[in-house]
Amino acid sequence: MARITLEDLNELDDESLDEDEEPMDGEEQNRLFSHWETVASTHQVTLPQEMAGPIVQMTQHNQAREPVPSVTLSQHEKCEEVAYEERMYPAGKWACITKGEPMYEQSISMGFMKLMRYICKENSIGRYLGMTVPVLNEIHLSKEGTELLPDVITAYYLPGEFQLNPPLPMDPEIHIRERPPLHVITRVFYGTTTEETILREINLLWELLGSVDTVLRDTYMVAAYENPGIPQRRNEIWFIRRAD
């Protein structure tokens, strides 16, 4: 399965439903699923029928997305534009899954497809939990720093109402983790997220920072915010400050 991500699910903005609108009928649901089969096929993926329900739910709720809480510590400009900024994310509970497919796009897609089902119904309370952004993809580089290692951790932040008592996942591959506070240096980039573009963005941010000993060099995060139907959609590369 490849690149059926959170961003893909919002591609049908014109077809999405407000909560006050009537539920989709069978014909509309079939049309929606057929659309995603086409999307999947362009990524060399077969979309399983079990994704029909979660796709409808995510499409209906695509306007209600809770931001992951954070505090901006500083912004750094270059040529009168923000080149990068530092943020602090508090400790919190995340639903995480690790996938190690041949391609980065495949790993994040397979991971998020499972998280989708957890978010929509396959949890201990059997209800839609709500979407948060960004979805994080934790990546690791080879010792040479020239390629991504296969394992990618895809993480979904539990909405505020579930932070104290997270619904348990039905899927044994999904784990609820209490992540410590995260201090990151973050730079926005636009477009697709592939191994090539990610490595390029990592190198660009290192050029801006210069020599910094307080940042991890083997672990990074890619934050996904927007719909891939937007040609210049927003993503971020995150460098992680070492804990004191």
Whole-angstrom distance, CA of residue 92 vs CA of residue 108: 21
* pLDDT band at residue 28 using 50, 70 and 90 as cut-offs: confident
The H or E element containing residue 43 is none
- Per-residue pLDDT at 47: 64
pLDDT band of 188, cuts 50, 70, 90 = very high
Angle at 169 between CA 240 and CA 64, to 5 degrees: 70
Q: Say whether pLDDT at 20 is over 90.
A: no
- Which burial class, exposed, middle or buried, applies to 205 when counting CB atoms under 10 A from its CB (0-12, 13-18, 19+)? buried
- Report pLDDT for 30: 76
**Residue 155, pLDDT above cutoff 80:** yes
Residues 10, 61: Cα–Cα separation, whole Å = 9
Q: Please say whether the structural domain 66-241 has been given the CATH code 3.20.80.10.
A: yes
Residue with token string 């739910």: 57
Greater pLDDT, 41 or 94: 94
State residue 46's pLDDT score: 67
Q: What is the pLDDT of residue 29?
A: 73
pTM for the full predicted model? 0.83
**Annotated domain spans of the chain:** 6-60, 66-241
What's the pLDDT tens digit per position in 212-225?
Answer: 889 999 999 999 98
Instruction: For residue range 110-131, list pLDDT tens digits in order.
Output: 888 899 899 998 999 999 999 9
Lowest mean pLDDT among 89-93, 141-145, 166-170: 141-145
Work out the average pLDDT over 192-198: 89
- Structure tokens that stand for 2 in this block: 């490849």
CA dihedral 228→103→60→162, nearest 10 degrees, is -120
Tokens of 177: 């983790």
Q: What share of the chain is helix, strand, coil (3-state, %, to 5)?
A: 30, 30, 40
